[in-house]
Amino acid sequence: MAVDRVICTRNNVTYSSLRKAMCTGVRTIDELTKATGVCNECDGCKTEIIAILASVCGCRNVLLEDVINAVNSGADTVDKVGLISGAGLDCGRCKVLIQNIIDLGY
Ligand code: FES
Ligand code: FES
C-alpha cells in the first residue's frame, strides 16, 4: 500500500485527508481549506491540490468531469460509472468518491 504524503507542509495536511474530504463533497480549494486546514499559501501546493481535486481515479486516470459526464448520461451506480469511464475498476479506492459524486450530482 502506498505511503501517505503530506501535501500542505505548513499545516501537515496529507493526501489521504484531502481525498477523505472529497468523499464528503468537497470540490473546491476554499472548501478544502475549511475542511482540512490546507493553508493554501503556496503556488506549488495549489497546483498539486488543483490536480488532486480534478482527479477521481488515479489507477485509470479518470477525471472528476469524466465521472460527472457519466452520471449525467444516466450512470446511477458505481458499477455503471465504471463501465462508462473505467473509474473504480482496479484498486477500488475511488469507489466511495464515485458514490459521493453520484449522490450529489457534481
Ligand atoms: S504549505 Fe500549505 S498549501 Fe503549501
Ligand atoms: S483509484 Fe480508482 S480503481 Fe484505483
Mean pLDDT of successive 10-residue stretches along the chain, which has 106 residues: 85 97 97 96 92 98 98 98 98 98 97
Grid cell of 64 as nine digits: 472528476
With the most atoms of ligand 1 within 8 angstroms of its CB, the residue from 5, 6, 17, 41 to mutate is 41
Residue 72, pLDDT score: 97
CA angle 68, 78, 92 (to 5 degrees): 110
Q: Is residue 81 in some structural domain?
A: yes
The number of the ligand 1 atom at minimal distance from the alpha carbon of 41 is: 3
- Tell me the CB-side half-sphere exposure of residue 10, using CA atoms within 13 A: 11
Residue 22, pLDDT score: 98
Q: What's the CA-to-centroid distance between 17 and ligand 2, angstroms?
A: 16
Sequential DSSP letters for 48-92: HHHHHHHEEETTTTEEHHHHHHHHHTT--SHHHHHHHH-TTSSS-
Grid cell of 4 as nine digits: 501517505
Residue span of the structural domain in which 91 resides: 6-104
Residue 2, pLDDT score: 61
Global pTM reads 0.94
Ligand 2 pocket, residue 93 CB under 6 Å: yes
Residue 44, pLDDT score: 87
Number of domains present in the structure of the chain:
1
Q: Is residue 1 in some structural domain?
A: no
Going by alpha carbons, the residue nearest to atom 1 of ligand 2 is 57
